Amino acid sequence: MKNKYIISSASLIILAALQLNAQSTSDTTDPKPGNSRFMLRGYSDATFQSNDEESTFGNARFIPVFLYQQSDKLFYEGELEFAYEDGEVEIAIEYANFYYSLAPNVHLRAGKILVPFGIFFDRLHPSWINRLPTNPLGYGHDGLLPTADLGIELRGASYLGNMKFNYSLYTTNGPRIEDGEGEAEEVGMIKHESSLDNNNNKSIGGRLGIFPLKDQSLEIGFSALSAKLGDRDSDLENIGAFLYAIDWTFVRKLSFLGGIVDLKGQLNFINIDDQTYEVEEDSVTETYSFTNKSNTSFFQLGYRPTFGNSQFVKNLELVGRYSTLNTPEEAPWETESSQLTLGLNYWIDWRTAIKFAYQMENITGGHAEDGEEPEELDVNTFYLQWTLGF
C-alpha cells in the first residue's frame, strides 16, 4: 500500500517534470549518415584457470554495449552478454535502460538497471575495468548483493556548497527469499536475480557519494536498500531485508611513490528479519532458526608506475585485493570465507590487458550437517585473463 503510494506519486512528479521539460525541447539530433548518435561498443574476455582440481580454459565472453543518443535529453544503453562455457552459449541482458534528463543534473533511468548499491556492479565489474580476473566474495550472479533489476531511478551529481556529490534513488522489483522448496540448503538466503516479481512490494534504495577533496580523488559512498522478500500470501510474506554499504575510491598520482595509486573498497551488511523456516528434505521436516545477518567486504589496492622512460614498466600494474564473506551461524549455508588475490596486469592500451592473478581462498563452513565439524577448505587458483574493450 505504502509502496503503491510512493510509486504513484513518483510517477506524477516525473510526468509533471516531463511536461515542464517538453516545452523547451527542440533539440532532437539529426542523424546524418556517418554522424549517427548510435555507438556499438563493448568488450570481450577469456580466462584460463588452474588449481589442484582442474586446469581449464574457463569461459569466453562477448559483451556488446549499445548506446544511442536520441536527443540531448534521451539516451539509451543496453548490454548483452554472450558467454561460452562448458560447451554451451549463455545469453543474458546485463542491463537495458533509457535515461531521460529532467534537468541538467537530474536524470531518470528506467528499465533493467544495474543497481547502484555500492560501486562494484555499477562501475567496476566489466573485465576491462575490474583490475583482477575474479569478483570479490559475495558478488556475482548468485551472490548476496544486488546486481541488476527492473525499476526506475533518479541519478545525477551536483554541489553542496563547495563539495561535489552524486546521488541515486531507485525503486525496483527487488529481491526474494529462498523458502527452501527450490534449494533446501539455501533456505533463508536472499536472492536478487529473481525472474519473477513475487510480491507487490517494491524495494527502495539509494546511494549518496561525496567528494571531500577538490580534485575528486576521493569519493566516499553510502548505500541502502530496503525490501520485503516473501512471496505474496505466503508465511514468509512479511520478511523484510535491510542492506547497507559503505564504499570508497581514492585514485591519484602520488609522486613520492612514482605512480598512480588506486584504492577501492566496499563494506556490505545484509540484515534479514528473523524467521523460523521449515524445510522438507527426504520427507523429514527440518526446522531452521537463525539470526539472518551476513556481511561481505573487499579492500583493493592498485599501483601503476609512471616513473622512468620504459613504456613496458609504465604499462604494468600491481594489484592486491582482500575480500571476506560471513553468513549466518546455524544457517545451512553458514560460511566464513576470506580471499586474497594478487595480480599483475599488462595494459596494451587503456581498455586491453593481459591479467595474471593468484587467488588464495579459505572457506570454512558451507553446508555442514548436524554434529559434523564445519569443513575448512583452502583453494589456491592461478588465473590468466585477457580482456579487450572495443
Q: Which is nearer to ligand HEC, 218 or 368 (CB)?
A: 218
Q: Write the binding mask 127 to 146 for another protein: x where contact by CB under 8 A, - elsewhere.
A: -xx-----------------
270 binds another protein per the rule CB under 8 A: no
Cα dihedral sign, 83-86-89-91: negative
Which residue, 104 or 371, has its beta carbon nearer to another protein?
A: 104
Residue 79 touches which of another protein, ligand HEC, none (CB < 5 to 8 A by kind)?
ligand HEC
78 touches ligand HEC (CB under 6 A): no
**What is the identity of the amino acid at 23?**
Q
Q: CA 68 to CA 74: how far, in whole Å?
A: 9
Count interface residues toward another protein (CB under 8 A).
66
First to last CA, the chain: 46
Nearer to another protein (CB atom), residue 17 or residue 340: 17
| Distance (Å) of CA 122 to CA 91, 113, 114, 149 | 20, 9, 6, 12
Per DSSP, what are the bridge partners of residue 250? Answer: 218, 263
Q: What is the DSSP string of 69-128?
A: E-BSSEEEEEEEEEEEETTEEEEEEEEEEEEEEEETTEEEEEEEEE--SSSIIIII-STT
Pick out residues in 79-98 that bind another protein (CB under 8 A).
none
Q: Is 122 exposed, middle or buried (0-12, 13-18, 19+ CB in 10 A)?
A: buried
Q: Which stretch binds ligand HEC (CB under 6 A): 7-15, 122-130, 239-247, 270-278?
A: 122-130
Cell output for 208: 549518496
Q: Locate 204 and state its grid cell.
A: 527502495
Give least dist CB 359 to ligand HEC, A.
23
Contact call for residue 72 and another protein (CB under 8 A): yes
Angle among Cα 94, 99, 101 to the nearest 5 degrees reads 160
Per CB under 6 A, the list member of 123, 252, 314, 367 interacting with ligand HEC is: 123
Quick one: 204 or 325, whose CB is closer to another protein? Answer: 204
Binding of residue 267 to another protein (CB under 8 A)? no
Q: Which is nearer to ligand HEC, 280 or 349 (CB)?
A: 349
Reduced to 3 states (helix: H, G, I; strand: E, B; else coil), residue 8 is: helix
Q: Give the binding site for another protein (CB under 8 A).
A: 13, 17, 20-21, 24, 27, 35-39, 67-69, 72-73, 75, 77, 99, 101-107, 109, 123-124, 128-129, 154-162, 164, 166-169, 204, 206, 208-209, 214-217, 219, 222, 224, 226, 242, 244, 249, 251, 260, 271, 347, 350-351
Q: Give the binding site for ligand HEC (CB under 6 A).
A: 41, 65, 67, 79, 123, 126, 129
